[in-house]
Amino acid sequence: MQNSLDSGLSLALRKMERRTPLRPEARKAFMSLHVHRRTFDTQREMVREGDSNGHCLFLESGVVSMSKMLPNGGRQIVAFHVAGDLLGLGSALLLIADHSLRAHVPTAVLSIDDGDILRLAEDYPDIGRAFWFETLVDASIFREWNLNIGRRGARERLAHLVLEIGYKSEAAGLDQKENFACPITQADLADALGLTPVHVNRCMQWLRTEGFLETCGRRIVIPDWGALADFASFRPLYMHPEGPRVLTAERSIRSHA
């Protein structure tokens, strides 16, 4: 069993190291994390708003959304995650989950104890920095969603989300960004965009008739990436693919005391 779990962790490590190279000791410590695999069916809630935290989740395969609810029943999806993502890094330090996590397809996660994550970040500063960076990127994506929901028209808004999902799928090594699986229903897209399912459907049709995209089954094809990116003013900088600042070699100058 430990072997198959290892292979899952190494995916997380590979993804993290694409941005932040780690020192060998840190890599070894990461790989020796004690993990527990769990699987979830489609539409299954993995974490519920208000739960007390306890575990970080590494998404091995599948698609997961993070959402918040209103007392009147309104739901807002605030993020989508694909294989390779670290979910709920927040739970390492935040005591109570302020959001829910839901699987959109059959999904496998590796569950890691919060305390282990925290100790890892404390003992290995480069891992701590990598976690902090991931959190900063998440925050930046949330800001872009604010802009998207607050200030773009419905068609641009939908287009922007579709481009983001394609971009992330390619970055995760799952698909090409111009042709990718998108197993998210229009109702869920609506919840992510602050729109109604009916209106998402009409916007989707409009994007198709304009030739901006094609759908076949649960797959999306974007014939001219540049044209759609231009239409939606999509610039992937907000996902910070350039990676974090690297600390310069001169670590000696320590203090000003």
Partner DNA sequence: CGAAGTTTTGAGGACCTTCAAAAGTTGTGG
Partner DNA sequence: CCACAACTTTTGAAGGTCCTCAAAACTTCG
> Interface residues for its own copies in 31-70 (CB under 8 A)?
32-34, 53, 66, 68, 70
- 10 Å Cβ neighbour count for 92? 22
- Nearest approach in angstroms of CB 194 to DNA is 6
| Gap between the Cα atoms of 157 and 200, Å rounded | 10
Which of 23, 43, 98, 218 binds its own copies (CB under 8 A)? It is 98
Asked whether the CA dihedral 218, 221, 227, 229 is positive or negative, the reply is: positive
For the segment 195-214, give every residue that binds DNA (CB under 7 A). 195-199, 201-202, 204-205
CB 220 within 8 A of CB 208: no
How many Cα atoms occupy the beta-carbon half-sphere of 237 within 13 Å? 2
Name the minimum Å distance from CB 212 to its own copies. 17
Min dist. Cβ of residue 4 to DNA (A): 24
Contact with its own copies (CB under 8 A) among 3, 4, 41, 71: 71
The first and second tokens of residue 78, run together, are: 């605030």
Residue matched to tokens 């009409």: 202
Assigned token pair, 4: 């198959």
Report yes or no: 156 and 212 within 8 Å, Cβ to Cβ: no
Contact partner, 245, from DNA, its own copies, none, Cβ < 5-8 Å per class: its own copies
Enumerate the β-bridge partners of residue 216. Answer: 219
Q: Which of 32, 58, 57 is nearest to 119 (CA)?
A: 32
C-alpha to C-alpha distance for 82 and 65, rounded to whole angstroms: 9
Pick one of 7, 151, 216, 226: the residue that binds its own copies (CB under 8 A).
Answer: 151
Count of positions on this chain that bind its own copies (CB under 8 A): 70
| Nearest residue (CB) to its own copies, 37 versus 240 | 240
Selection from 194, 197, 192, 223 nearest residue 208 by Cα: 223
Please choose, out of 10-18, 95-103, 168-176, 218-226, the segment that lies near its own copies by the rule CB under 8 A: 95-103
Q: Considering the rule CB under 8 A, would residue 197 count as an interface residue with its own copies?
A: no
Residues that bind its own copies (CB under 8 A): 28-29, 32-34, 53, 66, 68, 70-72, 74-76, 78-79, 89-90, 92-96, 98-99, 114-115, 118-119, 121-123, 125, 128-129, 131-133, 135-140, 142-147, 149-152, 193-194, 233, 237-238, 240, 242, 244-245, 247-248, 251, 254-257
